[in-house]
Amino acid sequence: MNAIPPFDADLLRRYDGPGPRYTSYPTAPQFSSAFGESDFREAAKLSNGDPIPRRLSLYVHVPFCFSPCFYCGCNRVITRDHSRADVYLTRLVREVAMVAPLFDRDRDVVQLHLGGGTPNFLNASQLGEMMESLSRHFHFSSSPKRDFSIELDPRCVGSSDIEALAFLGFNRASLGVQDFDPVVQAAVNRIQSVEETLAVIDACRKHGFRSVNVDLIYGLPAQTAAGFGRTLDTVIAARPDRLAVYSYAHLPQLFRPQKQIDASQLPDPEAKLGLLQLAIEKLSLAGYRYIGMDHFALPDDELSLAQEHDGLHRNFMGYTTHADCDLIGLGVSAISHIGDSYSQNPRDLPAWEAAIDNGRLPVWRGMMLWADDVLRADLIQQLMCRSEIDIAALEARHGIHFATYFEEDLQRLQSLAADGLVTIEATRIRATARGRLLLRIIAACFDRYLHQPRSEPARFSKMI
Ligand code: SF4
């Protein structure tokens, strides 16, 4: 099922365009400042009261980076002042101490992810302090299947750092690469050698990391098929367990660093499609599987196996094998998903700092999900992880008659079916092989917020 889909330039050209990537449904723009600290506390309390409370997944955001990559759309602070990490850590530890007691102590943490920014801006001793605080306030699972992962910038991490991370319990790493072509690296202000990158991959393996992911980006300035092809060959030869190949979206009005990119150097849409085609062909030949939404994995990687056995899940951190966890986000801009609620910490550092300094949970915005949201989130989750919608399962879980409930959505889907992206059967809606590269377009047909203004769903009551 998860072979890499065939490349269909015509279809991709037609459906190319911005749109949600559905790491959550509803997506973050729907969050509201009406959701506050007391709502977060209530959601945590309710989640403890579930007959079988979910296990926990922690996300910690470290916002600092040493230098700005011009393509970047992340929430980050550029600085070379290491003392800022200490100041940040002090508040992070306070946030952990405020948030953790809201969750029953016997709820195991089976997943931890450090993202950024550059998490390895924190040195080994600072990371040790952070882990000590987390493990003191939460209960870390001792299962060998727990996933403790970290995003690494290979430009500023050495073998001894990787050894220290392994000692602290980290067993997965994700490395930013983007493109090894020196011309591209100069154009995006990210100079990173092949040698230092491969050394980090080797060190992760030597110190027992269960998997290494590499991020690449296509559509960057000055990128060529020849140069990106060499990057792909180099990366594939290193055999990372997972690869993410993202499309660069040039939105300088939204992401200020991108103003420093010379737009005249960007590949035109045809050339950009060619880069994606190259990546798909090379990864396919090298035996990688397509997980969904830009993600690829080796056949024996846990994501591939989970996809085969219906155990794949998608959340703010991407694809994971840990379904049914409550996600607690810590640090500036971090997002939580507790029960049927989403919430987000302030995106700007001073606002997050002020909340912590005043002894408040730093909840900036969020939302409680309506029954309609929960149903559609379930549907989109199925689509993103299994490339199909099991109609009977949704009807049974949510007490609806699918064809009646989704009448308008199914009408929207007709043109996609006519274009060969999906097949619609009585019991299942399936993305075709061609449609699997366009899952977000299929999902968007079921996104109520794209098609109706924000209001209580008219069909909120369940229909049998
Ligand atoms: S791409 Fe990564 S390392 Fe570069 S500025 Fe953005 S968060 Fe920092």
The pLDDT assigned to 454 comes to: 53
Last residue of a domain, one of 330, 356, 383: 330
Residues 3 and 65 in one domain: no
Q: How far is the CA of 77 from the centre of ligand 1 (A)?
A: 9
Residues 377 and 295 in one domain: no
Closest C-alpha residue for ligand 1 atom 6: 72
Q: How far is the CA of 406 from the centre of ligand 1 (A)?
A: 40
Ligand 1 close to Cβ of residue 151 (< 6 A): no
Q: What is the pLDDT along the chain (464 residues), one digit of tens a residue?
A: 567 787 888 888 888 777 888 999 999 999 999 999 999 999 999 999 988 999 999 999 999 999 999 999 888 999 999 999 999 999 999 999 999 999 999 999 999 999 999 999 999 999 999 999 999 999 999 999 999 999 999 999 999 999 999 999 999 999 999 999 999 999 999 999 999 999 999 999 999 999 999 999 999 999 999 999 999 999 999 999 999 999 999 999 999 999 999 999 999 999 999 999 999 999 999 999 999 889 999 999 999 999 998 889 998 888 999 888 999 999 999 999 999 999 999 999 999 999 999 999 999 999 999 999 999 999 999 999 999 999 999 999 999 999 999 999 999 999 999 999 999 999 999 999 989 999 999 999 999 999 875 555 544 333 32
The pLDDT assigned to 310 comes to: 85
Residues 97 and 199 in one domain: yes
Does 349 reside within a domain?
no
Q: How far is the CA of 215 from the centre of ligand 1 (A)?
A: 12
Please state, in angstroms and rounded to a whole number, the distance separating the CA atoms of residues 375 and 365.
Answer: 22
CATH of the domain at 87: 3.80.30.20
Task: Give the number of the atom of ligand 1 that is nearest the alpha carbon of residue 117.
Answer: 7
Q: How many domains does the chain have?
A: 2
Last residue of a domain, one of 303, 330, 357: 330
Q: How far is the CA of 328 from the centre of ligand 1 (A)?
A: 23
Does 339 reside within a domain?
no
**Maximum pairwise Cα distance, the chain:** 60
Task: Give the number of the atom of ligand 1 that is nearest the alpha carbon of residue 190.
Answer: 4
Residues 270 and 414 in one domain: no
Does 34 reside within a domain?
yes
State which of 69, 213, 332 you would mutate to test the pocket of ligand 1, scoring each by most atoms of that ligand within 8 A of its C-beta: 69
Residues 245 and 257 in one domain: yes
Does 281 reside within a domain?
yes
Ligand 1 close to Cβ of residue 176 (< 6 A): yes
Does 359 reside within a domain?
no
Ligand 1 close to Cβ of residue 76 (< 6 A): yes
Does 378 reside within a domain?
yes
Ligand 1 close to Cβ of residue 63 (< 6 A): no
Residue with tokens 């594939």: 236
Are residues 326 and 339 in contact, defined by beta-carbon separation less than 8 angstroms? yes
The pLDDT assigned to 14 comes to: 87
Entry pTM: 0.94
Please state, as a whole number, how many other Cβ atoms lie within 10 Å of the Cβ of residue 19: 15
Ligand 1 close to Cβ of residue 122 (< 6 A): no
State which of 62, 70, 75, 118 you would mutate to test the pocket of ligand 1, scoring each by most atoms of that ligand within 8 A of its C-beta: 118
State which of 61, 74, 261, 332 you would mutate to test the pocket of ligand 1, scoring each by most atoms of that ligand within 8 A of its C-beta: 74
Residues 301 and 435 in one domain: no
Last residue of a domain, one of 298, 330, 362: 330
CATH of the domain at 455: 1.10.10.920
The pLDDT assigned to 323 comes to: 81
The pLDDT assigned to 460 comes to: 37
Ligand 1 close to Cβ of residue 117 (< 6 A): yes
Q: Which domain holds residue 414?
A: 1-20+371-464
Closest C-alpha residue for ligand 1 atom 1: 72
Residues 47 and 16 in one domain: no
Residues 254 and 300 in one domain: yes
CA 20, 25, 29, 30 torsion-angle sign:
positive
Does 365 reside within a domain?
no
Residues 14 and 29 in one domain: no
Closest C-alpha residue for ligand 1 atom 7: 117
Closest C-alpha residue for ligand 1 atom 4: 69
Residues 179 and 255 in one domain: yes
Residues 415 and 293 in one domain: no
Does 404 reside within a domain?
yes
CA distances from 361 to 102, 331, 343, 356, 451 (A): 11, 11, 11, 7, 34
Q: How far is the CA of 64 from the centre of ligand 1 (A)?
A: 9
Residues 317 and 432 in one domain: no
